[in-house]
Structure 1
Amino acid sequence: MGRIVIEFPSKEVAEVVYKAVLYEHLSVPYRRSEIEFLLDDNRIILEIKATDSSAMRGTVNSYLRWIKVAMDAVEVE
């Protein structure tokens, strides 16, 4: 199991990013991994269980890419 904690400058920014990524989290089926996607104050927490290292890497890459895109969109505003 892997755990990633991403801290944001404020609770508001974390919430905007969380809501932006939540749709992807709910709509993309992962067959080889299970993901807990959580918002905790000004942090987003990812807890990932995967069947193998390739599944772990793919899952982590997807979520980090979605979070980065959401963060870039927040900066543009």
Structure 2
Amino acid sequence: MVEAIETNASIELPFSSPEEAEVIHDSLKPEELLPKTTRTKVDITRRKNILYLKINAKDTAALRAAVNSFLRWAVVARDMTKV
């Protein structure tokens, strides 16, 4: 049996302004605060116009799923600010 390796990703998302980064941060924050799964933990912070995502996962499949989800939600939130 292959043992799963705990893994993590740190992602920096620069935005055109601190206000835009704040809107995206506030949009993603509820997802971070949902009841924790046993496979992933996500921390979202913002400094000026940069959003930081730190994702820890029990295995690479969980990491990939969390990264894809949070990046997709960030793109949707960013696109909604342009409507």
TM-score by length of 2: 0.84
Task: Letter of the 1:56 partner, please give it.
Answer: L
Matched residue SS, 2:82: helix
Q: 2:70 & 2:44 partners in 1: Cα distance?
A: 9
Please show how residues 31-46 of structure 1 align to structure 2 within 5 Å: 31-46=38-53
RMSD, matched Cα: 1.1
| Deviating 4+ runs (over 4 angstroms) | none
| Structure 1 unpaired stretches of 5+ | none
- Percent identity, aligned pairs only, is 36
Residue 56 (structure 1) shift: 0.3
Give the greater-gyration-radius structure (CA): 2
Give unmatched runs, 5+ long, in structure 2: 1-7
Q: Which has the higher helix share?
A: 1
Query: Could you say which residue in structure 2 is the equivalent of 1:60?
Result: 67
**TM-score of the pair, normalised by structure 1:** 0.90
Deviation of 1:28 after TM superposition, in Å, equals: 5.2
